[in-house]
Amino acid sequence: MYLLAVFEAQSRKRSGVAGACPIPVSGGEISWKDLIVSEAKQNMQAKAPVTATQNRIRQVKSAIKRLADENLVLRNVGEPGNTFPLMLLHESGLAESEKRGYLIPEYYEGARTVVTLPVQFFTNGWVYVLKDSEIRMYLILRHLAARFSESHALHGVYLSERDREWLYGISRDVYEAHLALARFGLIQLVPNPLRHRDGKVVEFDNFLKKGGVIPPHRFWVVGDSPFFESPLGKVRRALLNHPPSRDQMRRRNG
């Protein structure tokens, strides 16, 4: 929801404060109900029957409320009777007394403050296909590749445990999303003679006994070209070729 709102703002304006989003939650030619892809089922057996459309609208409103709770948007902006569902605020989620409108990034802003994505990430549907964890990990790797462009070109970039926890605030499970990103062709794992193809260290026990330092995974971000086509074929092939293990299914069902 947040990425789509940012995309809408940057598509509508080229500079300055984004202002209120004119897209309604429902109704009209285009609405958030149509832009959000999520599982919404009908429940006609309830005391008050609920259709799938009503459930989708509830999900959209819930997402907007969550973003408002995080100080990332304002809800119901505008005059009474002519309100807009949301207005983006500054990305940092500033406190109530310091709220500022979302400012469209300028072309000259550097890699430390801006993470770029091609338009096709949205228009070809990648934003709907990738899981939240996969999107987060991919944005982090794009950020690192832009910040350390020379190192990225020569040796790839890596994410240390300290930076993973303190700089980007992601868990080990989110970090493991790099496996799916590689299968989808969005990144490449830099070959390392000390690791097997699945990432495990060669002769791990002996390696530790010798006092070896485990080298971090290094990654190359492929670039924008994978987004120029539909993700469905790539993702389908990757999932068929790499089905979840029994342990993964157990954790998912648990």
Give residue for tokens 């459930």: 55
pLDDT value at residue 104: 93
- Region of 138 (left: φ > 0; alpha: ψ -120 to 50; beta: rest) is alpha
Please check whether residue 21 is in contact with residue 88, taking contact to mean a CB–CB distance below 8 angstroms.
yes
pLDDT value at residue 107: 80
**β 187-189/82-88 pair status:** unpaired
- Tokens at 64, concatenated: 């907007």
Tell me how long the chain is: 254
pLDDT value at residue 25: 93
Please check whether residue 231 is in contact with residue 125, taking contact to mean a CB–CB distance below 8 angstroms.
yes
Closest among 15, 22, 16, 14 to 5, alpha carbons compared = 22
- Tokens at 110, concatenated: 């550097």
pLDDT value at residue 254: 53
pLDDT value at residue 217: 85
- Tokens at 68, concatenated: 């408002």
Query: What residue spans define the domains of the chain?
Result: 2-98, 120-253
Closest among 216, 120, 122 to 175, alpha carbons compared = 216
pLDDT value at residue 49: 67
CA distance 163 to 147: 14
- Tokens at 108, concatenated: 């000259």
Fold annotation for 120-253: Arc Repressor Mutant, subunit A (1.10.10)
Phi, psi dihedral angles at 41 (to 5 degrees): -110, 155
CA distance 185 to 81: 48
Query: What pTM value is reported for the model?
Result: 0.84
pLDDT value at residue 64: 96
**β 20-21/82-88 pair status:** antiparallel
DSSP string computed for 98-152: G--BPBPPPTT--TTT-----THHHHTSHHHHS-HHHHHHHHHHHHHHHHTHHHH
Closest among 222, 142, 156, 136 to 184, alpha carbons compared = 222
Which residues of the chain are under the pLDDT cut of 50?
none
- Tokens at 130, concatenated: 């990738």
The type of residue at 142 is R
